[in-house]
């Protein structure tokens, strides 16, 4: 069997890696540089708490792969299981956390509930006004700049052909499969996997599949480097859009959340940061870590991410076209899922089945 993976973000590169390891002749096509779509812009959070419950099996599968990333990829992509601390500032947040923790337990996720004294003792300086917190000890973060190139290089070593800076000008269904026209000639394969991120909607539409997806840019920023004091990824339980932050090992504190995401025109797909939204973010960041009050913010950025109306990705076989598969529209939470998505899609394509349930993400949910 041979396959074309369209899109060289985390989903495409991880899929190419796992497909090649299963012995499938794989070509990955990316129109820009590898990993320069939504993936490079990611906050890098590897978080399972707060997820749609039927997505937890995929999230667990992915976490197991993150834990093996260095051995699988032959390179450190800075995955660190530092734990994920989610602070709670009001009764609504506490209720939200407790309900999720109870519902998630049968799905294999155990959250520790922390009292204010536990927070002070275990995480001094974090959330002094918090009334409680959850802690998920096995979650953490990785470096979004490193991971797609690492998967692409490992895929190449496993036998995949990686074509970056290769725009696709036409996609055609043929009796034998698919032909993609590129400036490096026609690329043909039996199977086509659509990992085109926010642009996956257009690929699906060319096969008569309409997905209610819109592109938005979450607002991210980073401080100057500071002495390393914050070990876990820090977030908030809230029905509003809470702040989140983490300190990288070099000392900079990366943060996001709080404000609305900015709409992005997928063509050309340049997601811009909005400096006007920064003060609102900083007010919440200082609530999480008061010691950040006087630090300098040195950069803001954003990235073009596909958000599906029901906030769930599109994964699985096409509903219209044999041999076409989709894995796109990860709605701001795909970084954690990436390795698991690649492995699950390779399973599905190679064997026709996948032990991790993917039905809730099938494109047919929009058919009516």
Ligand X SMILES: Cc1cc2nc3c(=O)[nH]c(=O)nc-3n(C[C@H](O)[C@H](O)[C@H](O)COP(=O)(O)OP(=O)(O)OC[C@H]3O[C@@H](n4cnc5c(N)ncnc54)[C@H](O)[C@@H]3O)c2cc1C
Residue whose token pair is 């339980």: 237
User: Which CB sits closer to ligand X, 317 or 332?
Assistant: 332
**Between 131 and 170, how does the x/- string for binding to ligand X read (CB under 6 A)?**
-------------------------------------x--
Give the gyration radius of the chain's Cα atoms: 20
Q: Is 242 exposed, middle or buried (0-12, 13-18, 19+ CB in 10 A)?
A: buried
Q: Nearest distance from residue 154's CB to ligand X, in Å? A: 16
Which of 215, 217, 219 minimizes the C-alpha distance to 280?
Answer: 219
> Which window, 71-79, 118-126, 197-205, 235-243, contacts ligand X (CB under 6 A)?
197-205
User: Which CB sits closer to ligand X, 38 or 227?
Assistant: 38
Q: Nearest distance from residue 117's CB to ligand X, in Å? A: 29
Report in angstroms the alpha-carbon separations of 277 from 151, 197, 219, 257, 273. 34, 25, 8, 10, 9
* Residue 239 φ then ψ, to 5°: -75, -15
> Which window, 38-46, 80-88, 247-255, 273-281, contacts ligand X (CB under 6 A)?
38-46
Selected from 4, 19, 37, 48, the binder of ligand X by CB under 6 A is 37
Residue whose token pair is 């702040």: 243
DSSP string, 15-55: HHHHHHHTT-EEEEE-SSSTTTTHHHH---EE--TT--GGG
| Site membership for ligand X, residue 72 (CB under 6 A) | no
**Between 296 and 335, how does the x/- string for binding to ligand X read (CB under 6 A)?**
------xx-x----------------------x-x-xxxx
Residue whose token pair is 């991120």: 197
> Which window, 25-33, 109-117, 278-286, 315-323, contacts ligand X (CB under 6 A)?
25-33
Q: What is the contact surface with ligand X in residues (CB under 6 A)?
A: 6-12, 29-32, 36-39, 41-45, 168, 195-199, 218, 220, 302-303, 305, 328, 330, 332-336
């Amino acid at each position: 069997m041979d396959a074309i993976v369209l899109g060289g973000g985390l989903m495409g590169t991880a899929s190419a890696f796992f497909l090649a390891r299963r012995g499938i002749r794989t070509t990955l096509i990316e129109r820009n540089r590898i990993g320069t779509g939504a993936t490079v812009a990611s906050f890098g959070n590897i978080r399972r708490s707060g997820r749609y419950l039927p997505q937890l099996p995929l999230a667990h599968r992915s976490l197991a792969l993150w834990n093996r990333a260095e051995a699988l990829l032959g390179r450190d992509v800075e995955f660190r299981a530092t734990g994920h601390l989610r602070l709670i500032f009001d009764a609504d947040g506490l209720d939200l956390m407790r309900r999720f923790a109870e519902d998630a337990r049968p799905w294999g996720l155990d959250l520790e509930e922390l009292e204010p004294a536990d927070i002070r003792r275990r995480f001094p300086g974090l959330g002094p006004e918090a009334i409680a917190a959850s802690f998920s000890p096995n979650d953490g973060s990785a470096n979004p700049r490193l991971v797609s190139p690492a998967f692409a290089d490992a895929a190449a070593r496993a036998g995949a052909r990686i074509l970056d800076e290769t725009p696709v000008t036409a996609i055609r269904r043929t009796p034998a499969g698919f032909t993609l026209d590129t400036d490096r000639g026609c690329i043909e394969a039996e199977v086509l996997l659509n990992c085109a991120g926010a642009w996956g909607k257009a690929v699906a539409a060319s096969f008569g599949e309409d997905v209610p997806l819109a592109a938005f840019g979450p607002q991210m920023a980073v401080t100057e480097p500071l002495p390393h004091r914050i070990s876990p990824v820090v977030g908030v339980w809230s029905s509003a859009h809470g702040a989140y932050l983490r300190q990288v090992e070099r000392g900079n504190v990366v943060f996001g959340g709080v404000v609305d995401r900015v709409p992005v025109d997928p063509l050309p797909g340049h997601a811009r940061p909005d400096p006007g939204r920064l003060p609102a973010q900083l007010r919440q960041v200082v609530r999480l870590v008061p010691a950040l009050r006087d630090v300098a913010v040195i950069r803001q950025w954003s990235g073009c991410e596909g958000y599906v109306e029901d906030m769930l990705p599109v994964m699985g076989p096409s509903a219209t076209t044999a041999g076409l598969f989709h894995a796109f529209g990860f709605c701001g939470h795909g970084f954690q899922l990436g390795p698991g998505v690649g492995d699950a899609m390779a399973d599905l394509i190679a064997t026709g089945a996948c032990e991790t349930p993917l039905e809730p993400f099938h494109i047919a949910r929009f058919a009516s």
